Structure 1
Amino acid sequence: MIWNLLILSVAVFVVANFLPGIRIKGPGTAVVVAVVYSIINFLVGWLLVFLSIPLVIVTFGLFMFVINAFLLWITDQLIDDFKINSLGTTLVAAFLITVIDSGLHWLF
């Protein structure tokens, strides 16, 4: 579990430094973002996925990025040192965080 949070923290930190529309205070904030995002995903993510099964099926799983973007937006609202400027940036960030997180999990 700690390993997963560290990988997610790295993904958040990389994306925050890559995308100009995201502001993050530092690596510690990336860890906080990963923890809060994981908690929100655990508490609400499964329900959102369950309620949107038809959309996930119709879009061949691409709607999961919308769910991840929504969870990332909630995380943005809860953490003062983490800000995302727009909806488009949130969608791109959710996509990139998911891809980097998956890639790092596969690599390690």
Structure 2
Amino acid sequence: MLRFILQALVTALGLWLSAYLVPGVEFLSTGSLIAAAVLLGLVNAIVRPILTFITFPLTVVTFGLFLLVVNAATIGLTAMFLGGFVVGDLWAGIGAAVVTGLVSWMVGWIVPDERRVERE
């Protein structure tokens, strides 16, 4: 549960930075930002693996770049479910996916994953 909360906070940070940097990504309130982070975590846990499996041939042909579209689709799906979170178009979704992914990668690089440390 603690890992899910930490991941939600990191996602919230990434989405906040996306709203600041990417035109077309907006939040109406801090509560909608937190709700979007939690909902995006759930969508990434449930829907994203299915989308990744279905689009695997296209992902291979594009050398993995289609995963940006899959990530943008999960962010767009989150925005569709949540009223206080707006993603303007596909490019805004891709920008938000890139920013959120970079923030998550940087935090993951700084904060060690205890599951990975136990395996090594």
Aligned to 1:39: 42
Find the aligned partners of 2:91 and 2:74 in 1 and give their Cα distance: 14
Larger Rg: 2
What is the aligned-residue RMSD (CA, Å)? Answer: 1.4
Structure 1's unaligned 5+ residue stretches are none
8 A contact 1:13–1:27 mirrored in 2: no
Q: Secondary structure at the match of 1:83?
A: strand
8 A contact 2:18–2:99 mirrored in 1: yes
Look up the equivalent residue of 1:11 and give its one-letter code.
Answer: G
Find the aligned partners of 2:62 and 2:95 in 1 and give their Cα distance: 17
Look up the equivalent residue of 1:18 and give its one-letter code.
Answer: L
Once the two structures are TM-superposed, the CA of residue 25 in structure 1 deviates from its matched residue by 2.2
Aligned to 1:69: 72
- Percent identity between matched residues is 27
Aligned to 1:106: 109
Aligned length: 108
Find the aligned partners of 1:16 and 1:26 in 2 and give their Cα distance: 12
8 A contact 2:24–2:92 mirrored in 1: yes
Find the aligned partners of 2:20 and 2:28 in 1 and give their Cα distance: 10
Aligned to 1:24: 27
TM-score by length of 2: 0.82
Find the aligned partners of 1:101 and 1:10 in 2 and give their Cα distance: 9
Look up the equivalent residue of 1:71 and give its one-letter code.
Answer: T
